Amino acid sequence: MSDARAPFSSFRDRLLARQRLLGTFLKLPTTQVIEMLGPIGYDFVIIDQEHAPLDRGMTDLMILAARASGIAPLVRVPEFTDAHILSALDCGAMGIMVPHVTSVEKARAIVRASRYAGGSRGFAGLTRASNWGGVSGTRHMALQDSQVAVIAMIEDQDAVDLAGDIARVDGIDAIFIGRGDLTASFGDDPQAAAKVAEISKRIAAAARDASTPLMMLPTSKADFDFASELGATAMALSSDHGFIRTAAAAAIKDYAG
């Protein structure tokens, strides 16, 4: 966990500086969980539109809660489209995470959709991102281009060999290793875990060679140490679903018998 007093708007700078950043995925359509996380000291949350029932209205409220709680709100969009990215950014997301980035061309398109200067992001002057018109259009665009983080997920076997090229795309601020989908792609192969560990090492080396920060989701303290050894500096610690299930299971174990 970094300095909890650091403003949420500094997330990209801290990510690029490879400060230790701790966050979690959010899947429950509520704002209260985010308000609980703020005082604890989480640096970021990832609002998961890909795997959770989160529409634009709920995402908007969750982003509002995160910003009010001093936590950087990132959004994992359900898939890459300009519209998904624009919606999240106008609502005030400080980072965009895109799943299944499998080509350099797709990575470049993601960056274009996320940026004003040299990009294709549509402009709206009265949004949370622009402080509801509290700054000039020029200032708003400059701040957004300098503060919004763009994160590419590598989670497909056919993207592994391209990880270095994707990481070198100008404007890709971090690589997130999606080990869940990589593991699933091996089916019931008993060597899946070992294979994904080796793939993770390859992706991490590619990101390191490209001087691009690495993000991971560790599943235990030992796995956290493994991710740190690979060079990951921003870690997503479980999810709201995971925290609740772990605590609920522990309570049953402690008190049921």
Confirm if 56 and 77 have CB atoms less than 8 A apart: no
51 part of the active site: yes
Confirm if 58 and 86 have CB atoms less than 8 A apart: no
Q: How many residues does the chain have?
A: 257
Task: Indicate which residue of 51, 84, 140, 241 is catalytic.
Answer: 51
φ and ψ at residue 9, rounded to 5 degrees: -70, -10
- The set of long-range contacts for 30-37, using a CB threshold of 8 Å and a minimum separation of 24, is 30/62, 31/61, 31/62, 31/64, 31/65, 33/240, 34/62, 34/65, 34/66, 34/69, 34/71, 35/65, 35/68, 35/69, 37/69, 37/71
| Residue that has been written with the tokens 């908007």 in this structure | 60
Catalytic site positions: 51
